[in-house]
Amino acid sequence: MGRLENKVAVITGSATGIGQATALVFAEQGAKVVCADVNLEKAQETVEKIKQAGGQAEAIHVDVTQVDSVENLSTHLKETYGSIDVLFNNAGIDQQGGKVHEYPIELFDQIIAVDLRGTFLTSKFLIPLMLEKGGSIINTSSMSGRAADLNRSGYNAAKGGITNFTRAMAIDYARDRIRVNSLSPGTIETPLIDTLVGGKDEDQGKQFRDANAWITPMGRLGKPREMATVALFLASDDSSYVTGEDITADGGIMA
Ligand code: NAI
């Protein structure tokens, strides 16, 4: 019997990277997985992978920055499943913007809108589907929510916000049996890294990966599946007395 048998798990940002890996792991553990992403075509590819492995999943379009879009997701989930058990708020973007006085206002707004406000909006509209039975919410913070990065103040602000927003949610819903925790990845090998270094420039990408592997005590970047298994712990009853907590999975960088 899987650790998420008969559970409905919604994962935002599940078209690629950590979200996709988590969708696969949750489905392997018996969950019905809802892959919600702004990139529907790629989210559909995640669903196909799950189905090929014998799991259950569907893809649905959502833009976590848009109230109407998140409300539509909530309505669809209510009509299809009645309630949900797990919400993994994982959709996120990252980009360097320069020092604060040079940082483009639009980029700052965009990162806050997807990463921080998106986590708020999805939680706001999906929590009502958990109130009756309880559940588990996992927000995606980052080691960049605990410490600062050069030229990435927007991302640092968003992720630092998510870590404390998680604590606020945890105490608000503790008596409703909804646990809320965050996962803080280190540097993980996903498409997000290419956006961060400004495209798929091979030299820059290699430099970034090598430098990050070098500063990581384990000497390598993390794999998306290594985040998925931490998310599984937080989603499942294995963490039934854990709420308001942040788990860092970074190969030892923050140690
Ligand atoms: P990724 O780029 O592979 O995945 C991000 C996903 O979010 C994509 O599927 C994308 O389509 C989706 N997305 C973007 N904007 C959206 C929107 N407005 N509405 C709905 N979906 C949207 O990146 P990765 O690395 O898998 O990132 C997942 C999460 O992990 C993000 O929150 C990121 O900040 C966080 N993270 C990643 C780290 C890394 O080194 N890769 C390190 C620390 C945190």
Confidence bin at 1 (pLDDT 50/70/90): confident
Please give the share of the chain, as a percent, with pLDDT higher than 90.
94
Residue range 204-220: mean pLDDT, rounded: 94
Residue range 43-70: mean pLDDT, rounded: 98
| pTM flag (> 0.95) | yes
- The answer to which of 8-12, 79-83, 130-134, 190-194 has the lowest mean pLDDT is 190-194
What's the Cα-to-Cα distance from 232 to each of 4, 30, 32, 179, rounded to whole Å?
8, 11, 14, 13
CA–CA gap between residue 138 and residue 232 (Å, rounded): 10
Residue range 232-254: mean pLDDT, rounded: 98
Residue range 225-236: mean pLDDT, rounded: 99
Helix axes 40-52, 17-28, angle to 10 degrees: 30
Candidates 81, 103, 155, 173; catalytic one: 155
pLDDT of residue 195: 84
43 class by beta-carbon count within 10 Å (0-12 exposed, 13-18 middle, 19+ buried): buried
- Tell me the ipTM for this assembly: 0.99
Residue range 2-21: mean pLDDT, rounded: 98
Kindly state the tokens that stand for 35.
């892959």
- Cα of 220 vs its chain's centroid, Å: 21
pLDDT of residue 50: 98
Residue range 148-175: mean pLDDT, rounded: 98
Is pLDDT above 90 for 160? yes
Give the list of residues 6+ apart from residue 7 with CB closer than 8 angstroms, or none. Answer: 30, 31, 32, 85, 86, 235
Distance 83 CA to ligand 1 centre (A): 25
Helices (H), the chain: 17-28, 40-52, 67-81, 105-111, 118-126, 153-173, 192-196, 202-215, 224-235
Mean of pLDDT over the chain:
97
Is pLDDT above 80 for 58? yes
pLDDT of residue 242: 98
Is pLDDT above 80 for 237? yes
Domains of the chain listed by start with CATH number: 8-186+223-248 (3.40.50.720), 191-221 (no CATH)
**Residue range 13-53, pLDDT digits in tens:** 999 999 999 999 999 999 999 999 999 999 999 999 999 99
The C-alpha angle with vertex 181 and arms to 168 and 67, in degrees rounded to 5, equals: 65
First to last CA, the chain: 35
Kindly state the tokens that stand for 33.
């997985």
Measured from the CB, is residue 85 less than 6 Å from ligand 1? Answer: no
Q: Whose CA is nearest to atom 17 of ligand 1?
A: 63
pLDDT of residue 52: 98
- 248 SS3 class: strand
Atom nearest to 195 CA in ligand 1: 2
pLDDT of residue 200: 67
Element housing 178 (H / E) = strand 178-185
CA–CA gap between residue 100 and residue 109 (Å, rounded): 13
Does residue 81 carry a catalytic annotation?
no
